[in-house]
Amino acid sequence: MNKPVSDALNRNLALAGKYLARFADGVVPHNIGGEKVSGAATFEDNSPVDNSRLAVVAAGGRAEIDRAARAAAEAFKAWRDVTGERRQEILHDIADRIEARAEEIAIVESVDTGQPIRYMSKAAIRGAENFRFFADRAPGARDGLSLPTDTHINYTLRQPIGPVGVITPWNTPFMLSTWKIAPALAAGCTVVHKPAEWSPLSAVLLTEIMQEAIVAAGLPAGVVNLVQGLGEDAGKSLTEHPDIKAIGFVGESSTGSLIMAQGAPTLKRVHFELGGKNPVIVFGDADLDRALDAALFMIYSLNGERCTSSSRALIQRSIYDDFVARAAERVKKIVVGHPLDPKTEIGPLIHPRHVEKVLSYAEAARKDGAKVAVGGTQWPGAGANYVAPTLFTDATTKMRIAQEEIFGPVLTAIPFEDEADALRIANDVRYGLTAYIWTKDVGRAHRVAEAVDAGMVWVNSENVRHLPTPFGGVKASGIGRDGGDYSFDFYMETKNIAIAYDRHKIPTIGT
Ligand code: NAD
């Protein structure tokens, strides 16, 4: 017999008490080469559930980043020389250790981010998968090409670029951090990680777990280092440090611009995964049930705080009224609640400042002449960070709700007339991360997929990741790709070596 849901919530609350207790006392320190370091500066990390304090966290600046970068540079000498096969074993060991602490990671992540436990229960598993995937690629990471001519054998090999900085955002931080750090380690790079200040706790667990496996293998803990702090202090210092050769960044487009400028004096290599305003384009011939399921899932799961969310529903006029009416009925039924309740589909948003931003779009929608069909308000009877799932309808492409990344459980529905109109609207934004196309017409699917401004396109599907495929955006949504071998292109330098045959005639001078 199934247990009542309230029992499950109570059980998870008890687990939260157990797993978060370690963060409640004193200051959560940085982890630099395995040493717990904290200075005078701190910041508060609060629970999205009620904005109560979860932890006081050490806020790093130039000094802590310098120490961490030097630890990573020192450890690089040992880590880059570890064979690919050995790195493979160590990364699998990290994955084992993540899986062993999956419950703890899920609970900490859910409370710290407000993300529903139904999704966060998979956070550790997805993180472990990232490590296993790149573990198995580590032995081949150096692989290159053979490019012979009549006179020379040219061959390429790849070498790790050096210590790298990884800067992550507050939405699903555990999964995103593993997605960046696992390939860096597989490539032979060492890492300084700066997590987001609104949800820093799961990074503490991840660093601890990675260091345990690394030290158990007889290697220095400084292969991975964690410095918490504010973007303008710790983050900025990391991007400016001369020992840090590259920055893997996930966050807002405007922060990407800052990082590019900050990294310019040291010629930093950058990889950016930025914002999105992704269209789900539903043509009149689509399988409407499946399209509706996918469109709603891609915007209302993960609290809508998701870069790949389908935040603009572009619906062909012939099916628009029906689609929107059905969507509205479904949106009204979404379960909003405590993130640790397995029943909850939408939890509290990350921070009061973010809530204010998300809610401000209801006013913008009305002012611009769109309709607030569902929501647009706080969720009644819950804490300050709970926002009602929201559906804006009858929008046009120039409205703010159709142009700006809202990053909450908010869908903007826009009607279109035909294929050309759909493409015009789809591409009429500064972003270009993902696009979702729904049609039974294969020719049209190809045409639209090719012409839409997006780094990733799914046809008749929600976002389903296959780890070898490239992940990244165009326009203001990013620079570069990761996934599979693309990640190694970023974290490694390609060297060409040319060896001459005897028959090569060397030109003479001065004879
Ligand atoms: P953000 O840009 O505000 O912060 C991201 C990180 O950058 C944080 O760790 C922050 O401290 C740091 N930072 C801020 N200023 C900095 C500076 N001057 N120098 C160096 N670091 C600095 O983003 P956010 O609000 O935490 O995250 C939400 C954004 O992330 C959304 O735009 C979302 O679309 C994007 N995102 C993109 C992807 C993707 O794969 N494309 C994935 C997840 C999130």
Looking from the CA of 315 toward its CB, the CA atoms found within 13 Å total: 28
Question: Is residue 1's pLDDT more than 70?
Answer: no
Calculate the average pLDDT of the chain. 97
pLDDT over 90 for what percent of the chain? 98
Element at 282 (helix H, strand E): strand 279-282
pLDDT at 203: 98
Question: Is residue 3's pLDDT more than 60?
Answer: no
Instruction: Give residue 251 CA to ligand 1 midpoint distance, Å.
Output: 2
If you average pLDDT over residues 189-201, what whole number do you get? 98
Q: How far is CA 235 from CA 206, 231, 250, in A?
A: 19, 4, 12
Q: In 138-217, where does DSSP find H-type helix?
A: 173-187, 201-216
If you average pLDDT over residues 414-437, what whole number do you get? 98
Give me the long-range contacts of 424-427 (CB less than 8 A, separation at least 24): 424/397, 425/279, 425/312, 425/314, 425/397, 426/279, 426/281, 426/312, 426/314, 426/452, 426/453, 427/451, 427/452, 427/453
Name the band, by pLDDT with cuts 50, 70 and 90, for residue 6: confident
Residues 470/481, Cβ–Cβ less than 8 Å: yes
Pocket test for ligand 1, best of 171, 247, 262, 303 (most atoms within 8 A of CB): 171
Structure confidence by residue, pLDDT tens digits, 214-234: 999 999 999 999 999 999 999
Residue appearing with tokens 């190694």:
488
Helix (H, G, I), strand (E, B) or coil at 266: helix
Q: In 25-122, where does DSSP find H-type helix?
A: 62-79, 84-100, 102-113, 117-120
Give me the long-range contacts of 259-268 (CB less than 8 A, separation at least 24): 259/167, 259/235, 262/236, 263/239, 265/240, 266/240, 266/241, 266/242, 268/239, 268/244
Residues 163/72, Cβ–Cβ less than 8 Å: yes
Residues 116/48, Cβ–Cβ less than 8 Å: no
Q: Which of 109, 107, 105, 69 is nearest to 210 (CA)?
A: 105
pLDDT at 4: 56
Structure confidence by residue, pLDDT tens digits, 297-306: 999 999 999 9
Give yes or no: 232 in active site: no
Instruction: Give residue 253 CA to ligand 1 midpoint distance, Å.
Output: 8
Q: Which of 93, 29, 56, 55 is nearest to 225 (CA)?
A: 29
Question: Is residue 2's pLDDT more than 90?
Answer: no
Task: Identify the residues whose C-beta falls under 6 Å from ligand 1.
Answer: 167-171, 176, 194, 196-197, 231-232, 235-236, 239, 250-252, 255, 258-259, 262, 273-276, 307, 405, 407, 433, 473, 478
If you average pLDDT over residues 347-361, what whole number do you get? 98
Instruction: Give residue 169 CA to ligand 1 midpoint distance, Å.
Output: 4
Question: Is residue 239's pLDDT more than 90?
Answer: yes
pLDDT at 39: 86
Residues 405/431, Cβ–Cβ less than 8 Å: yes
Instruction: Give residue 193 CA to ligand 1 midpoint distance, Å.
Output: 13
Cα(358)–Cα(343) distance, integer angstroms: 24
Give yes or no: 273 in active site: yes
Cα(308)–Cα(367) distance, integer angstroms: 27
If you average pLDDT over residues 199-220, what whole number do you get? 98
Residue appearing with tokens 């190809």:
446
pLDDT over 70 for what percent of the chain? 99
Question: Is residue 5's pLDDT more than 70?
Answer: no
Question: Is residue 34's pLDDT more than 90?
Answer: yes
Question: Is residue 138's pLDDT more than 80?
Answer: yes
- Global pTM value: 0.97
Cα(376)–Cα(359) distance, integer angstroms: 6
